[in-house]
Amino acid sequence: MALVLVSSRSFGVVATIGSELLEDAGFVVERIGPDERPLDAAKLARILASRQPDVLLSGAEPIPRSVLSASPSLRMVQKHGVGVDNIDLDAATELGIAVANAPGTNTEAVADLTVGFMLSLLRSVVPAAVSTRSGGWERFIGRELGRVTVGVIGTGRIGRDVISRLSGFGPRVLVCDVYEDSGFAERAGVEYVSLEKLLRESDLVTLHVPLMDETRELISAERISWMKPTAYLINIARGELVDEVALAAHLADGKIAGAAIDVFATEPPTESPLLKLDNVIATPHIGAYTVEAMENMARRCAETIIRVMRGERPENLLNRDALSRDAGS
């Protein structure tokens, strides 16, 4: 029986459907235990060399060539999530290892939290709650979401879902993306603009782009300086999209009003300067953590593994060439 080794922390924890589907299909499912964490590439490679799984069901841990080549039995890496910036796709393809993700399974959850952050920032929900619990009765003055300008960077699935939710509030929405879709802009009532214009004019800026070489530290010190002193930044995509040190400096000096950060360059972010600031809402990468998203993701991962291991090529397979290559070719 084929072995599925689970390195994802969250697979099977909230929703059991994924494990059930795999076991019903004849797979053996094993988890990497808490005593073996945290996982770096060297430790993960040693675990794969020892257990020799056929499938790795991964989380956010790094999966370079050294990990991919550690198990001679490895035929597939299934990401329990959407972004695959932690996986060496080129090496996987060369080694004949299929890589797939679970697109669309957490879109609504992430979009919901994004709008929740917007409302929390504009109405000072977190400091107001902290103040009240400590015996205070400070009545914070906020702003209405329908009266501000929102800048959405990235108009893929999640960015568009955020925009859809914003339509009920009615703010002006500016968008920025490498690929501009004029039809979408007309239907959604949004305006494609340059990144600089978006940052200079928006009261809320939210990031929804993948992490690539071109987007690493997309929000740099210079670009943060373009933002209004009353503006807020939301990052629920990838920590490396933002220069965290520069962001912390601007927030500490009052050059921008605040931020909501769900993702960090290093997780857990024990050394991040952002954690020391009162005008930052910091959460532990919970964007996809809803019952519904976890169930959708678990099901999609299991169904994809079953299909790929049967020789099929589902649409969420990211390197189709891998299935036509011999390992090591």
Mean pLDDT of 47-55: 97
pLDDT the model gives residue 12 = 87
| Domain range summary for the chain, segments of one domain joined by + | 3-105+290-324, 107-282
* pLDDT tens, position by position, 159-190: 999 999 999 999 999 999 999 999 999 999 99
Domain pair 3-105+290-324 / 107-282, same fold: yes
CATH code for the structural domain at 3-105+290-324: 3.40.50.720
Q: What is the pLDDT of residues 111-144, one digit of tens each?
A: 999 999 999 999 999 999 999 999 999 999 999 9
Positions annotated as catalytic residues are: 238, 267, 285
Contact 104, 157 (CB under 8 A): yes
Is the CB of residue 70 less than 8 Å from the CB of residue 51? no
What is the average pLDDT score of the chain?
Answer: 95
107-282 CATH, one of 1.20.120.550, 3.40.50.720, 3.30.70.1530, 3.40.50.300: 3.40.50.720
Taking every pair of Cα atoms in the chain, the longest distance, rounded to a whole number of angstroms, is 68
- In 3D space, the residue among 200, 191, 193, 144 whose CA is nearest the CA of residue 172 turns out to be 191
Question: What tens digit of pLDDT does each residue of 264-304 get?
Answer: 999 889 889 999 999 999 999 999 999 999 999 999 999 99
Please report the pLDDT score of residue 327 as a whole number.
Answer: 42
Residue in this structure with the two tokens 């678990």, named with its chain if needed: 298
Where does the pLDDT of residue 79 fall: very low under 50, low under 70, confident under 90, or very high at 90 and above? Answer: very high
Residue 190 contacts residue 174 (beta carbons within 8 Å): yes
- What secondary structure, in 3-state letters, does 265-317 show? CCCCCCCCHHHHCCCEEECCCCCCCCHHHHHHHHHHHHHHHHHHHCCCCCCCE
Integer Cα distance of 112 and 114 in angstroms: 5
For the segment 146-163, the average pLDDT, to the nearest whole number, is 97
